[in-house]
Amino acid sequence: MARRDLPSRVLIVGLGLIGGSLAAALRAAGFGAAEGRTAGFGAAEDRTAGFGAAEGRTAGFGAAEDRTAGFGAAEDRTAGFGAAEKRAEILACDPDAEEIARGVELGLIDRGDTRLTSLLDGVDLVVLAVPVLAMREVMAELAAGLGRAAANLVITDVGSTKGAIREAAVAAFGELPANLVLGHPIAGSEKSGVAAANPELYAGHKVILTPEPGTDSDAVARVRVLWETAGAEVLEMDVERHDEVLARTSHLPHLLAFSLVDTLARQDERLEIFRYAAGGFRDFTRIAGSDPVMWRDIFVANRDAVLHALDDFEDGVARLREAVERGDTDAMLATFDRASHARHYFDSLLNQTSYQAEYQMQAQDQLRYRVSPGGGVSGRIRVPGDKSISHRSIMLGALAEGVTEVSGFLEGEDSLATLQAFREMGVAIEGPHQGRVTVHGVGLHGLKAPAGPLYVGNAGTAMRLFAGLLAGQAFDTELTGDVSLTKRPMGRVADPLREMGAVIETAEGGRPPLRIKGGQPLKGIDYDMPMASAQVKSCLLLAGLYAEGETRVREPAPTRDHTERMLNGFGYKVERQGDTCWLQGGGELAAAPIDVPSDISSATFFLVAAAITPGADLVLEHVGINPTRIGVINILQQMGADLRLENQREVGGEPVADLHIRYAPLKGIDIPVDQVPLAIDEFPALFVAAANAEGTTRLREAAELRVKESDRLKAMADGLAVLGVENRLYEDGIDIVGRAEGQGGDGPSYGGGRIDSLGDHRIAMAFSVAALRASDEIVIDDCANVATSFPGFVTLARRVGLSLEEEREAS
């Protein structure tokens, strides 16, 4: 944010914990410091950044001559930065004169008074940090004291209920002032008073602003900068939504803590109860030590939203009580497990340890890979379980009658998002624990309406398959995902589902979120897919479970058949003849054990690593070799790879094998069109193989690569060009010119450089492997999403011989 948006004189009304901590945070940032303070905000001497500095000003801010934009100019200074007659100050108003004196003594404020009107002269920004029920009186005093000058400053507040404060503002000012920006810092403590002021109270915490359509944008910008200076992250939300959310996440927990402690404190044996209470009781009830007057005011001001939250909570307690009375272990487990995993998810949002935090905010850090050139590849490894099968095991297990035991489950964030979505629809799920998951199925019609949108992260597979099975439910649902997923086309499933009778709304261009109306009667259709897609086929088959009559899907080319195999494994008959598969609606699924094989898409990066590295000898264990997925094996073998399938067997209806690959020189080929759909996810890695092959490799009829997590054709073409690999891009394919004929096989094939993965995990992993034959290091940006499909990739890459380091950089 531009520095000109900072105020020069801030007035804090209410010098308690919140107001005092804001003053402390501003002081820590150097705002209004008397001398020698860092950051130079209003400092008289030794000012950095040149704001108002008398001498040595950088960037011309306030320089004696040739001052840009007039900042700090001797006359006509904007916002008073560095003006000789107006040093940056923090003022405070509080009814307690001793608190004012203590604030001055602590160096948090420059001066203050118990009378508001005496402090208004020259103020740029007023922060109202008084109890919610005191807002009306303070705003009325402020309006009277300012008069016409009210429009010349910015007013904001810190109250935790915005609807009541908005009403108070209208009553005091006669309308909602354009320069009033209602706000709420999501931070606090059970302590109170200016003596408890903490300059770090807002660091890393959120501040929610609730501007109205008529709020001045410059006023919003100035309040945003104020809180960012205090170290907070600023979000925006409408007033009603704010009050609903805070009633559930802040007000209700405080109400429960007050109630629990009061209930126990009124019992005769309270001393014994408190004596033996453990840390959990202490942690849960800590907030009962908060200011009672403040919380009384909050509950009065946000009464309706708090009562709605309390109604929901009481319903939940009643259901849990009933489960305990009946000894209903499944119902108890569903509640406890759902709560446990939701709590872990909450931690990930708070700590931003997961890309799923994008559901609420952009990630603060960027993850980069730095891969040194060269290295060897050898050993025996087992890559994580197949993501496609992991998704389907949870989905069909949840819809089955009985308990499904899953082993080899991929504990990546995409699969975990699917698992969590079913928890939110009332399915009891144990785990995952070291790849083991137990799903207590509820039957085809046993799912319950989730409390809010179902978030599937980066998982396009999950969203498209969910669309099919949710189209047949009795309740409305909304499917949403991360930033990357919201750019991916969903019309390809929404359109045929509408033909079946589903009512689905999408965002512009047929993109997420998907809003699916429940209670719609579905009918089977005969659908010719315009392009080969296992996700579309699976979506329609899942919808067909709920449809009247027969659902038939014809595919223009073979696609992975995991859904058909698993449905048959669960006792639901799916038939196939030639290019068409079909099923009859109205049946049931019976629980069955599932052993998820290792993911051939994940194995591909190591297959290519061994295929291009002289001296390599690598075994990948227990890899799924479903006939609809082995395009990568066929293509590498056609290129000359020494790749053999050993210990072939069938596990849970899926064929598996150990893949043994040794280095052999590769040759460029024209990739057979019939192999394209069988290797669609593996092409980023195969392009690296092509860059190391002798001659040119040509790919056509692969336009599907344009609409993956990124435009993978262009992303790979751009990255290969950075390394110096000649290529020619087409609308539906690419030509990659590999090593020249007769060029030595052991030396580097290309150079190094910096690659933008565009947040696409497969692009990031492909160029990591490419470093094995580079002459210089390869640096790959935006790699955080690798965890979505391949947890442990970095560890396995290092184990087989790559020199890969992770770097984090604050954005």
Nearest-CA neighbor of 32 among 106, 85, 86, 89?
Answer: 89
- Using DSSP's 3-state secondary structure scheme, residue 506 falls into strand
Return phi, psi of residue 42, to 5°. Answer: 75, 5
Query: Residues 5, 124, 291, 681: which is the catalytic one?
Result: 681
The 3-state DSSP class for residue 21 equals helix
Is 162 annotated as contributing to ligand binding? no
Tokens (6 digits) for 429: 């799920």
Distances (CA, A) of 206 to 631, 646, 717: 48, 54, 40
Q: Is 535 annotated as a binding residue?
A: yes
In total, the chain counts a number of residues equal to 811
Distance from the Cα of residue 129 to its chain's centroid: 32
Half-sphere exposure of 661 (CA within 13 A, CB side): 31
Whole-angstrom distance, CA of residue 241 vs CA of residue 157: 17
The DSSP output letter for 267 is S
Contact predicate 777/613, CB 8 Å: no
Tokens linked to 319: 């259901």
Amino acid at 158: V
Contacts of 479 (CB under 8 A, 6+ apart): 453, 454, 456, 463, 466, 467, 470, 512, 513, 514, 516
Whether residue 674 is annotated as binding a ligand: the answer is no
- How large is the angle between the packed helices 600-612 and 631-638, nearest 10 degrees? 10
For the chain, the helix, strand and coil percentages under 3-state DSSP, each to the nearest 5: 40, 20, 40
325, with CB counted inside 10 A (0-12, 13-18, 19+), is: exposed
Strand partners, 91: 11, 111
Is 595 annotated to bind ligand? no
708 is in an annotated binding site: yes
Q: Residue 598, annotated ligand binder?
A: no
Question: What are residue 664's phi and psi, to 5 degrees?
Answer: -150, 145
Nearest to 218 by CA among 66, 22, 1, 404: 1
Preceding peptide of 513 cis, ω within 30°: yes
DSSP 548: B
Which tokens sit at 376? Answer: 């060897």
Q: Is 762 annotated as a binding residue?
A: yes
Distances from the Cα of 463 to the Cαs of 241, 289, 324, 477, 502, in angstroms?
26, 44, 35, 12, 15
Is residue 681 flagged as an active site residue?
A: yes
| Order of all β-strands in the sheet with 727-730 | 696-699, 733-737, 727-730
Long-range pairs for 499-508 at CB < 8 Å and ≥24 separation? 499/525, 499/527, 500/471, 500/524, 500/525, 500/540, 500/543, 500/544, 500/547, 500/551, 501/547, 502/471, 502/543, 504/467, 504/471
- Is 681 marked within a binding site? yes
712 is annotated as contributing to ligand binding: yes
List, in order, residues 6 or more apart from 247 with CB less than 8 Å away.
Answer: 302, 305, 306, 308, 309
Q: What is the arrangement of strands in the sheet containing 617-624, beginning at the earlier edge strand?
A: 378-381, 617-624, 654-662, 642-651
Residues marked active site are found at 681
Annotated binding site for phosphoenolpyruvate: 387, 460, 488, 535, 712, 762
Known binding residues for 3-phosphoshikimate are 387-388, 392, 533, 535, 681, 708
